[in-house]
Amino acid sequence: MGKINKEIQDRILTKYKEVADDFKIDHRILIRDFYRHYHVLELIKKYKPHNDNKVLDVSAGFAIPSRILQEDGYNVTATDSISIAGSLTFEITQKIFTMTNIENLEIDSLPFDECTFDIIFWLATIEHIHNSPKRILNWIYKILKKDGIVIIDTPNILELRRRIMLLFGKSFMPPIQFVYNSDYHSGHHREYTKSDLEYVMLQSGFEIKYSKIIDTISQISIDNRNSLDRRESTQSELEQMTKFKVGSSIFNFYDWVKLPYSILVRIFPSFRDTIFIVGVKH
């Protein structure tokens, strides 16, 4: 990914702490997404159309990149589902920028006029869609302005960690205890390869400006590990997640274990963990 801009790093980490304070959680849980969020900001800087700044964050969640863009003068609108993200998430985010509730992107009426936004991002969500993403991608295409961009990221189903887990008889899917004890499974339903994601983007009319699998793991260090099978369905899954910090330490056992992985993903891009794609509407 290259050298990290310290100012942007500090801004992202500050946002994690602000969000963690709002939701009464440990901010180290959020650091697992540091390089994803950093890369989103990099891609916007590189591919944004002219000086236009009207942004839509679809299925925003904690909306970390959007919070930073808003501070930088972008006009941000966001969507999320109150029933899935939670009313607290929606209420807190609504204080920062305009929020629209869409309970189900696959079947609900989709808002916004044609050619409204310059930049749309749909982050870490396409893998949660139960059926085809066609309807949602066609909607995104419609509400983008001419020469507008969409940024999508999703886990790479072929990443090295997953191959190793399967080799040793371990599942990389969401913990079964949460699936079994939930009325609605909001976890991953269809994960993608890079060529899969390129296919659905091209079929939806986008020109692909950027498509790459990136490594978001090597420079993240585990601070406190909580394995999937030890998480209790009677407690919040979010609060039980593994905690991280940016960087590595020679005194951290997990960083030594991670070293061979770090070398292999540098050599073999298909082993990396997160697919990013930038599509443009012409």
140 domain-assigned? yes
Residue 1 has a pLDDT of 60
DSSP 218-243: TTEEEEE---GGG--TTS-TGGGS-E
Residue 239 has a pLDDT of 77
CATH classification of the domain holding 85: 3.40.50.150
Tell me which residues of the chain have a pLDDT lower than 50: none
Burial of 251 (0-12, 13-18, 19+ CB in 10 A): exposed
Q: Please give the Cα distance from 183 to 202 (Å, whole number).
A: 35
1 domain-assigned? no
Give the total residue count for the chain. Answer: 282
Q: Characterise 169 by phi-psi region: left (phi > 0), alpha (psi -120 to 50), beta (else).
A: left
Mean pLDDT of all residues in the chain?
92
Domain region containing 51: 6-280
224 domain-assigned? yes
252 domain-assigned? yes
pLDDT, tens only, 196-238: 999 999 999 999 999 999 999 988 988 887 777 777 777 777 7
3-state SS assignment for residue 55: strand
Residue 175 has a pLDDT of 81
197-222 CB burial, b ≥16 within 10 A, e <16: bbebbeebebeeeeeebbbbbbbbbb
Is residue 271 a contact partner of residue 159, using CB atoms and an 8 Å limit? yes
20 domain-assigned? yes
Q: How many domains does the chain have?
A: 1
